[in-house]
Structure 1
Amino acid sequence: MSDIENRTRDVMMKVLQISPQDISPDISRKNRPAWDSLKHMNLMLALEDEFGIEFSDKEIVELNSLHFLVDALRTKRS
């Protein structure tokens, strides 16, 4: 696991209030009831703070899984 993925998972655990074993590689808003719209916005803000980046409105809507989040963060960090 990369540093970006580990940090993303840590933020997800805190914001979504879930345990590490609940964060599977395919976790998404569709399959995780705790990941509602309010927590999604809190997650986006927490990730922006953690990585010192900013997501566009379009990105916020589309970043609905661990996979998409890690890919977007890798792109923004490069």
Structure 2
Amino acid sequence: MQDIYDKLTEILQDVFDDDEIVASPELAAADVDGWDSLAHVRFILAIERGFGVKFSAAEASAFANVGELANGIAAKRSA
């Protein structure tokens, strides 16, 4: 899972243009400046490209925090 969090950190820093963001299980949209609905779409698209996975719209909007997202990525990669 550490490799997923490392890559998520890179993606978060790129999408939100903030080198201080570090992916952690409890990190949520409310914790990141500028994480609105448009930024969420850009973030999910970057994740899909970066990890080679696809999320449905319902899946993408259901993640409560980065921990749930990381679990979703792990599940998609092992499927």
In the superposition, the TM-score normalised over structure 2's length comes to 0.84
Aligned length: 77
Which residue of structure 1 lines up, in the alignment, with residue 16 of structure 2? 16
Task: Provide the rounded CA distance (Å) in 1 between the counterparts of 2:12 and 2:62.
Answer: 16
**For 1:2 and 1:24, how far apart are their aligned partners in 2?**
10
d(CA) in 1 for partners of 2:54, 2:60: 10
Report what 2:32 is aligned to: 32
State the 1:64 CA deviation: 4.2
CA apart distance, 1:24: 5.5
Deviation at residue 57 of structure 1 after TM alignment: 1.0
Structure 2: gaps of 5 or more residues: none
Scaled by the length of structure 1, what TM-score is found?
A: 0.85
Counting aligned pairs with the same residue, the percent is 27
- For 2:23 and 2:12, how far apart are their aligned partners in 1? 11
- Report the RMSD for the aligned CA atoms in angstroms: 1.6
| 1:42 equivalent in structure 2 | 42
Structure 1 residues 13 and 64: alpha-carbon distance in aligned structure 2, compared to 1, 3 A threshold: farther
Stretches of 4+ aligned residues off by more than 3 angstroms: none
Give secondary structure in 2 for the equivalent of 1:30.
Answer: helix
Where does residue 67 of structure 1 map in the other structure?
67
Counterpart CA distance in 1 for 2:5 and 2:23 is 12
The alpha-carbon deviation at position 42 of structure 1 amounts to 0.2
